[in-house]
Structure 1
Amino acid sequence: MKLGAFSVSLTVNDIHKSKSFYEKLGFQDHGGDITQNWLIMKNENCIIGLFQGMFEKNILTFNPGWNENAENLESFTDVRELQKQLKEKGVKLQSEADESSEGPAYFTIEDPDGNQILIDQHR
C-alpha cells in the first residue's frame, strides 16, 4: 500500500516559538502561512507541520500523489482506493472521503492507541 509523502502534524501553542525551536534543529520553511497559524517545515527528508488552534492532538499525515517535496508523482493510488482497501481489511474509519468524487479528498483513521492518521490527497 503506497500512502504518499509522510509528515507529522503537530498541534502547537505558539507557532512563532515552535518555528524558532525547529529552526534550531535545522528545519526550514517549506510552505504554509504563519499568518493563518500553520507552517510546513523540512529538514532533509523529514517533514513536520506546525498547526496552532486547528486540532487537539498530533496527527500522522500521508499525502497520496505527492513526494516529500510536495511534487506530483506520476502514478499513485487514489485516496478513495486506499480507503476501500482499508475498509476491506476491517479498519474502522473516523471520517470518509466521498467515493463518488474525484480529485482532492481525505479520510482519517486511528491506530489501536488512539493516534490519529490523516490520509490527505491534494490533487
Structure 2
Amino acid sequence: MQLGSFSISLNVKDINASKAFYENLGFNDLGGDITQNWLIMKNGDCVIGLFQGMFEKNIMTFNPGWNQNAENLDSFTDVRELQKQLKQKGIKILTEADESTEGPGYFTIEDPDGNPILIDQHR
C-alpha cells in the first residue's frame, strides 16, 4: 500500500517559537503561511507541519500523489482507493472521502492507541 509522502503535523501553542526551535534543528520552510498559523518545514527527508489552533492532537499525515518534496508523482493510488482497501481490512474510517468524486480528498483513521492519521490528497 503506497500512502504517499509522510509528515507529522504538530499542534503548537506558539507557531513563531516553534518555527525558531525547528530552525535550530536544521529545518527550513517548505510551504504554508505563518500568518494563517500553519507552516510546513523540512530537514532532509523529514517533514513536519506546525499548526497553531487548528486541531487538538498531533497527527500523522500521508499525502498520496506527493513525494517528500511535495512534488507530484506520475503514478499513485487515489485516496478513495486507499480508503476502500482499508475498509476491506476492517479499519474504521472516522472521516470519509466522498467516493463519488475525483481529485483532492481526505479521510481520517486512528491507530489502536488513538493516534490520529490523516490521508490527505491535494490533487
TM-score over 0.5 for the pair: yes
Alignment partner, residue 94 of structure 1 = 94
Kindly, what percent of the aligned residue pairs are identical? 80
Alignment partner, residue 103 of structure 2 = 103
Q: How does 1:3-18 map to 2 (within 5 A)?
A: 3-18=3-18
**Post-superposition, which runs of at least 4 consecutive aligned residues in structure 1 deviate over 3 A?**
none
Q: How does 1:12-27 map to 2 (within 5 A)?
A: 12-27=12-27
SS for the counterpart of 2:67 is coil
Alignment partner, residue 54 of structure 1 = 54
SS for the counterpart of 2:76 is coil
Deviation sequence 1:31-79 (CA, Å, 0-9, x none): 0000000000000000000000000000000000000011000000000
Alignment partner, residue 116 of structure 1 = 116
**Structure 2: any 5+ residue segments left out of the alignment?**
none
Tell me the amino acid that sits aligned with residue 41 of structure 1.
M
Deviation sequence 1:60-104 (CA, Å, 0-9, x none): 000000000110000000000000000000000110000000000
Distance 2:54 2:3 in 1: 23
Alignment root-mean-square deviation, CA: 0.2
**Structure 1: any 5+ residue segments left out of the alignment?**
none
Tell me the amino acid that sits aligned with residue 17 of structure 1.
A
SS for the counterpart of 1:95 is coil
What TM-score, normalized by structure 2, do the two folds share?
1.00
Q: Does 1:85 align with 2:85?
A: yes
What TM-score, normalized by structure 1, do the two folds share?
1.00
Aligned residues: 123
Q: Does 1:32 align with 2:70?
A: no
